[in-house]
């Protein structure tokens, strides 16, 4: 909580803090951040990039537009040229930054977080979300500017009114790029009944327009902009989209549910089956391996064990990273690997953009179906079956302390069954009998996330429930 931290810490302490989370800055106005915080964060970002010009975009949330214009107004006073992009998807901003000559971009979105959250993501001039090292350097600028009043920020001479609306140009550029990437679908795929659930947010203006132009039988769902998210929560989890999926049983060939800013796209079908992002990642990697020319994929440790089991046998190397699209992307860029994915929905294809894109996830899935000439249901049924239970517990205070105690307790409990351990982000335990456990602190919310995977749903659920119970007991002892 930034404005509370200011009262408690001196400058030396500030330098140890990263004001960014797993993906950008997230919080709740009046509780974790003030308007002054947003202005100072914007200033610090601009100072780091020595901003000549910036693109600012925003999602549908009711506070995203005013925050975007507060940031824009601040930057105009610093003499920065501001290109306003309106309500757009995050992938469309990333593409525009990659193709045009801007210093950096700020996207005001809390992505999949609940409606009360605000957020902002920062991208460099290639459309790449900034690294943890850059985040820390911006954080240093932020806190040092607070401790050193009198530092010149705004002068009459600097202030210039240089601002324009680029929304339509940006959206058209995005659609043209997607058309270029997918120039052809056969008649069968073109005539698929495809459902697109926009969760009343940003992808209406980008993915929605492309899908209307390309697929005559497209069914648009929740396609009225509304920052209160009246249809469902913005995160496209099975629980949140189950009602929509059930209503479409027997009426569609395939569907996609986007999150708030469009970098996630969760696939479902006419049987009522919902496919996790790592399942789709495996299917696309396996079927389009030669088409895409890939021999390696990158995915975070939150992905299923079937990723490694299936792709390694097919001659595709699997690289594990920390959770968070930027961690996957940074590794892909360093090693020049073109394909990556996350379990929460969203393929990353570097020739397109350096980030996830929910629309591209749908289109690559359609390409895989086209190549196999069958349904997504039939393709998935040929792969090994595991069951994953994904839960989280709310931890208001001492999240790191609760996590460390829980990690030690669970390691001790399963000590004799552990076959492998990964510690790059929280802890992932690979146990005997194809069981895995992932425990990690959330980077965007005051929660600890717990994923359990097993060959039966009952086994995965039992292990998950036991870990949750252990966590609650530990929190009670700390209270």
Task: List pLDDT tens digits, range 328-369.
Answer: 999 999 999 999 999 989 999 999 999 999 999 999 999 999
Can you give the pLDDT at residue 294? 95
Residue ranges of alpha helices (H) inside 383-456 are 399-413
Instruction: Quickly state the pLDDT bin for 283 (edges 50, 70, 90).
Output: very high
The CATH topology of domain 182-381 is: Alpha-D-Glucose-1,6-Bisphosphate; Chain A, domain 3 (3.40.120)
Can you give the pLDDT at residue 9? 44
Task: Write the CA distances from 13 to 140, 150, 343, 405, 433, integer angstroms.
Answer: 10, 21, 35, 25, 46
Give the integer Cα–Cα distance in Å for 21 and 80. 26
Give the integer Cα–Cα distance in Å for 15 and 192. 54
Percent of the chain with pLDDT over 90: 84
Long-range contacts of residues 26-31, Cβ cutoff 8 Å, at least 24 apart: 26/110, 26/113, 26/117, 26/118, 26/119, 26/444, 26/445, 27/1, 27/2, 27/117, 27/118, 27/119, 28/116, 28/117, 28/118, 29/63, 29/118, 31/1
Q: Which CATH superfamily is domain 2-167 in?
A: Alpha-D-Glucose-1,6-Bisphosphate, subunit A, domain 3 (3.40.120.10)
Give the integer Cα–Cα distance in Å for 138 and 362. 35
Percent of the chain with pLDDT over 70: 94
Over residues 18-68, the pLDDT tens digits come to 899 878 999 999 999 999 999 999 999 999 999 889 999 999 999 999 999
For residue 264 the two structure tokens come to 């996630």
Average pLDDT, rounded, for the chain: 92
Q: Where are the domains of the chain?
A: 2-167, 182-381, 387-478
> Is the pLDDT at 180 greater than 60, yes or no?
yes
Check residue 264 and report its DSSP letter: -
Instruction: Quickly state the pLDDT bin for 478 (edges 50, 70, 90).
Output: confident
Can you give the pLDDT at residue 396? 80
Q: Are 93 and 123 in contact (CB under 8 A)?
A: yes
Can you give the pLDDT at residue 22? 75
Can you give the pLDDT at residue 158? 60
Q: DSSP E strands: which ranges in 243-321? A: 254-258, 265-269, 274-275, 296-300, 317-321
Domains 2-167 and 182-381 share a fold: yes
> Is the pLDDT at 232 greater than 90, yes or no?
yes
Q: How many residues does the chain have?
A: 479
Q: Are 401 and 363 in contact (CB under 8 A)?
A: no
Can you give the pLDDT at residue 150? 41
Can you give the pLDDT at residue 79? 86
Chain-centroid distance of CA 14 in Å reads 27
Give the integer Cα–Cα distance in Å for 36 and 40. 6
Over residues 166-179, the pLDDT tens digits come to 999 999 999 999 99
Listed range (74-83, 456-465, 466-475) with the worst mean pLDDT: 74-83
Check residue 63 and give left, alpha or beta (phi > 0: left; psi -120 to 50: alpha).
alpha
Instruction: Quickly state the pLDDT bin for 152 (edges 50, 70, 90).
Output: low
Instruction: Quickly state the pLDDT bin for 7 (edges 50, 70, 90).
Output: very low
Backbone angles phi, psi at 85, to 5 degrees: -110, 0
> Is the pLDDT at 149 greater than 90, yes or no?
no
Sign of torsion over alpha carbons 454, 464, 249, 370: negative
What integer is the mean pLDDT of 437-441? Answer: 96
Angle in degrees, CA 472, 475, 479, rounded to 5? 135
Residues whose CB falls within 8 Å of the CB of residue 416, separated by 6 or more in sequence, listed in order: none
> Is the pLDDT at 3 greater than 50, yes or no?
no
Can you give the pLDDT at residue 73? 92
Residues whose CB falls within 8 Å of the CB of residue 255, separated by 6 or more in sequence, listed in order: 194, 195, 196, 197, 219, 244, 245, 248, 267, 268, 269
What integer is the mean pLDDT of 118-131? Answer: 96
Q: Which of 43, 29, 250 lies closest to 146, judged by CA? A: 43
Over residues 284-309, the pLDDT tens digits come to 999 999 999 999 999 999 999 999 99
> Is the pLDDT at 456 greater than 80, yes or no?
yes
CATH of domain 387-478: 3.30.310.50
Find the helix or strand (DSSP H, E) in which 431 lies. Answer: strand 427-431
Instruction: Quickly state the pLDDT bin for 10 (edges 50, 70, 90).
Output: very low
What integer is the mean pLDDT of 201-227? Answer: 98
Q: How many CB atoms lie within 10 A of CB 216?
A: 11
Can you give the pLDDT at residue 162? 84
* Higher-pLDDT residue of 52, 215: 215
Instruction: Quickly state the pLDDT bin for 374 (edges 50, 70, 90).
Output: very high
What integer is the mean pLDDT of 208-216? Answer: 98
């Amino acid at each position: 909580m930034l404005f509370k931290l200011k009262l408690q810490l001196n400058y030396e302490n500030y330098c140890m803090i990263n004001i960014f989370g797993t993906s950008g800055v997230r919080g709740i106005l009046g509780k974790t951040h003030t308007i002054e915080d947003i202005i100072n964060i914007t200033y610090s970002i601009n100072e780091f990039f020595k901003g000549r010009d910036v693109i600012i975009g925003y999602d549908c949330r009711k506070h995203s537009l005013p925050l975007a214009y507060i940031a824009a107004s601040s930057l105009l006073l610093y003499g920065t040229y501001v290109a306003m992009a309106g309500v757009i998807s995050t992938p469309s901003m990333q593409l525009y930054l990659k193709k045009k000559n801007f210093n950096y971009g700020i996207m005001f979105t809390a992505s999949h977080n609940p409606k009360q959250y605000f957020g902002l993501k920062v991208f460099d001039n290639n459309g790449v979300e900034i690294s943890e090292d850059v985040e820390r350097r911006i954080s240093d600028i932020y806190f040092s500017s607070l401790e050193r009043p009198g530092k010149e920020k705004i002068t009459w001479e600097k202030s210039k009114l240089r601002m324009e609306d680029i929304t339509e140009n940006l959206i058209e550029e995005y659609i043209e790029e997607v058309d270029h990437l997918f120039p052809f679908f056969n008649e069968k795929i073109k005539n698929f009944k495809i459902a697109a659930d926009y969760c009343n947010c940003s992808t209406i203006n980008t993915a929605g327009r492309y899908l209307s132009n390309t697929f005559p039988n497209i069914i648009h769902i929740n396609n009225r902009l509304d920052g209160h998210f009246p249809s469902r929560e913005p995160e496209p989890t099975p629980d949140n989209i189950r009602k929509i999926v059930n209503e479409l049983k027997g009426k569609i060939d395939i569907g996609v549910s986007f999150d708030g800013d469009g970098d996630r796209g969760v696939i479902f079908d006419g049987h009522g089956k919902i496919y996790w992002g790592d399942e789709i990642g495996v299917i696309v990697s396996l079927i389009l391996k030669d088409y895409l020319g890939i021999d390696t994929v990158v995915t975070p440790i939150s992905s299923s064990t079937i990723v490694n089991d299936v792709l390694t046998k097919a001659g595709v190397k699997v690289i594990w990273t920390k959770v968070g699209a930027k961690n996957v992307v940074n590794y892909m860029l360093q090693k020049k690997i073109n394909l990556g994915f996350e379990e929460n929905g969203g393929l990353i294809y570097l020739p397109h953009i350096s980030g996830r894109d929910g629309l591209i996830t749908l289109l690559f899935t359609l390409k895989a179906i086209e190549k196999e000439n069958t349904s997504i249901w039939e393709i998935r049924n040929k792969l090994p079956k595991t069951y994953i239970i994904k839960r989280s517990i709310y931890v208001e205070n001492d999240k790191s302390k609760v996590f460390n105690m829980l990690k030690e307790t669970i390691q001790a409990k399963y000590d004799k069954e552990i076959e492998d351990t990964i510690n790059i982000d929280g802890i992932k335990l690979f146990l005997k009998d194809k069981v895995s456990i992932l425990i990690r602190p959330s980077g965007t919310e005051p929660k600890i996330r717990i994923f359990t995977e097993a060959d039966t749903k009952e086994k995965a659920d039992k292990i998950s429930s036991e870990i949750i119970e252990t966590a609650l007991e530990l929190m009670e002892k700390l209270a």
